[in-house]
């Protein structure tokens, strides 16, 4: 395989760190041309030096000015700023693959620009497909730009679907760990504190996604993403709880056969597949130990425990800009919960109220961004009226 050159947008986050480890394990196959982050420039210094990166982009202009003045980056390093800088870092001529892992909507336009420039996208940022799934997938098709999912479940589905005809596929099933409160008495969920929700049993991730994993809002967003990535209507997507996080997804074939993809719960596996497919060198992460009992369980999700999963499916079915509204309302509610201004069980109430007062509208990027802003405003009102 020829060496692939990456732009890593979201380099300071959890996916960014795992990506750097995968690149370091395969220096003959992968190199990094540019690093992007929202504002945390200090976290980029070591990676920029280790990977001899020539271009650094910071969405926050103040952070870019600090980074330039710091003298911490090698002489000659270009430090770009704002959305335009992020877009330039993604679209450098030598870049083959853009790792799109910026949390929030900041990665949307740079990623769309990279697709238009024909770059392959290793997609980790949820907002891109939740807000702009129709626009992004249509553009990628038109430009012949590959969308390679990084998220463990979608990457597993991508692996399972290789070599299969669409006519063989009945349903796609994502697994969910069920989070830390899977067996906690339902009537005690209202008393959950942020520090309880931040203790994820299997994965180490950022605080927002860890809370989303406890409520299963994360799985709801992943259903919406799967719909666009694999061109599947919501009624052919399913979720099953699998507390061990070893099976990442299943495909149900038309004859009733199920095929599962398994790997240890380390993001190095899906990231490496997204970056190196079709090559499959050994992954720099622990392997499953089959001399130990795995005790894998598969359980149906309980809708009373995880109301956000049903709300996400409703939003996916209604389409238009409702998935964007779901995402924005959830983000505001989770921030309020983490700030101890909202009960855990009221996260779903906030989202439900916002969705009930939102119209689907159309599914353009502009409509999604407008719905995002409107849903944030409504969610803040709802948080205010439910505040503890």
Give contact residues for Mg ion (rule: CB under 5 A).
Answer: 151, 153
Indicate the residue among 57 and 122 with the shorter CB distance to Mg ion. 122
Indicate the residue among 153 and 363 with the shorter CB distance to Mg ion. 153
- State the minimum distance, in angstroms, from the CB of residue 218 to Mg ion: 6
- State the minimum distance, in angstroms, from the CB of residue 248 to Mg ion: 8
Indicate the residue among 200 and 305 with the shorter CB distance to Mg ion. 200
Opening angle at CA 323, ends 263 and 253, nearest 5? 45
- State the minimum distance, in angstroms, from the CB of residue 249 to Mg ion: 9
Q: By beta-carbon distance, which residue lies closest to Mg ion?
A: 151
Closest C-alpha among 145, 91, 130, 123 to residue 369: 130
Q: Rounded to whole angstroms, how far apart are CA atoms 12 and 73?
A: 15
Q: Rounded to whole angstroms, how far apart are CA atoms 113 and 124?
A: 16
- State the minimum distance, in angstroms, from the CB of residue 217 to Mg ion: 12
- State the minimum distance, in angstroms, from the CB of residue 351 to Mg ion: 19
Indicate the residue among 18 and 358 with the shorter CB distance to Mg ion. 18
Indicate the residue among 151 and 346 with the shorter CB distance to Mg ion. 151
- State the minimum distance, in angstroms, from the CB of residue 92 to Mg ion: 29
- State the minimum distance, in angstroms, from the CB of residue 176 to Mg ion: 8
Indicate the residue among 81 and 151 with the shorter CB distance to Mg ion. 151
Indicate the residue among 59 and 249 with the shorter CB distance to Mg ion. 249
Indicate the residue among 35 and 173 with the shorter CB distance to Mg ion. 173
Q: Rounded to whole angstroms, how far apart are CA atoms 192 and 382?
A: 20
Indicate the residue among 124 and 367 with the shorter CB distance to Mg ion. 124
Find residue 78's DSSP bridge partners.
55
Beta strand pairing call for 30-37 and 4-9 = parallel
CA dihedral 87, 88, 92, 98 (to 10 degrees): -20
- State the minimum distance, in angstroms, from the CB of residue 43 to Mg ion: 23
Indicate the residue among 270 and 320 with the shorter CB distance to Mg ion. 270
Provide the sign of the torsion angle of the four alpha carbons 25, 26, 32, 35, taken in this order.
Answer: negative
- State the minimum distance, in angstroms, from the CB of residue 268 to Mg ion: 14
Query: What values do phi and psi take at 169, rounded to 5?
Result: -95, 125
Count of residues in the chain: 388
Closest C-alpha among 311, 327, 268, 262 to residue 289: 262
- State the minimum distance, in angstroms, from the CB of residue 238 to Mg ion: 15
């Amino acid at each position: 395989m020829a060496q692939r050159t990456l732009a890593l947008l979201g380099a300071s986050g959890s996916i960014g760190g795992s990506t750097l480890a995968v690149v370091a394990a395969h220096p003959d196959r992968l190199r990094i041309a540019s690093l992007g982050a929202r504002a945390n420039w200090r976290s980029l210094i070591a990676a920029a030096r280790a990977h001899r990166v020539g271009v650094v982009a910071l969405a926050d202009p103040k952070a870019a000015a600090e980074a330039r003045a710091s003298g911490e980056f090698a002489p000659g390093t270009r430090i770009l700023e704002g959305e335009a800088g992020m877009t330039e870092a993604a679209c450098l001529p030598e870049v083959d693959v853009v790792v799109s892992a910026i949390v929030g909507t900041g990665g949307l336009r740079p990623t769309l620009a990279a697709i238009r420039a024909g770059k392959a996208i290793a997609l980790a940022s949820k907002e891109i497909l939740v807000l702009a799934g129709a626009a992004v997938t249509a553009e990628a098709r038109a430009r012949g730009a590959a969308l390679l999912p990084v998220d463990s479940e979608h990457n597993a589905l991508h692996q399972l679907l290789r070599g299969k005809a669409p006519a063989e596929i009945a349903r796609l099933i994502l697994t969910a760990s069920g989070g830390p409160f899977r067996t906690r008495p339902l009537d005690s969920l209202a008393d959950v504190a942020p520090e309880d929700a931040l203790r994820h049993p299997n994965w180490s991730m950022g605080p927002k996604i860890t809370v989303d994993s406890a409520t299963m809002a994360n799985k709801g967003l992943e259903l919406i993403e799967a719909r666009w990535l694999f061109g599947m209507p919501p009624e052919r997507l399913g979720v099953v709880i699998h507390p061990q996080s070893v099976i990442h997804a299943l495909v149900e074939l038309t004859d009733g056969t199920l095929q599962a993809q398994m790997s240890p719960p380390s993001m190095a596996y899906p990231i490496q597949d997204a970056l190196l497919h079709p090559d499959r060198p050994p992954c720099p992460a622990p392997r499953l130990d089959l001399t130990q009992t795995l005790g894998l369980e598969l359980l149906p999700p309980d809708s009373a425990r995880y109301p956000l999963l049903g709300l996400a499916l409703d939003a996916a079915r209604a389409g238009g800009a409702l998935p964007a509204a779901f995402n924005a309302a959830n983000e505001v509610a989770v921030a309020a919960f983490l700030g101890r201004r909202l009960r855990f069980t009221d996260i779903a109430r906030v989202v439900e109220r916002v969705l009930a007062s939102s119209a689907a509208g159309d599914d353009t990027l502009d409509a999604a961004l407008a719905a995002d802003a409107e849903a944030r405003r409504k969610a803040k009102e709802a948080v205010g009226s439910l505040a503890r």
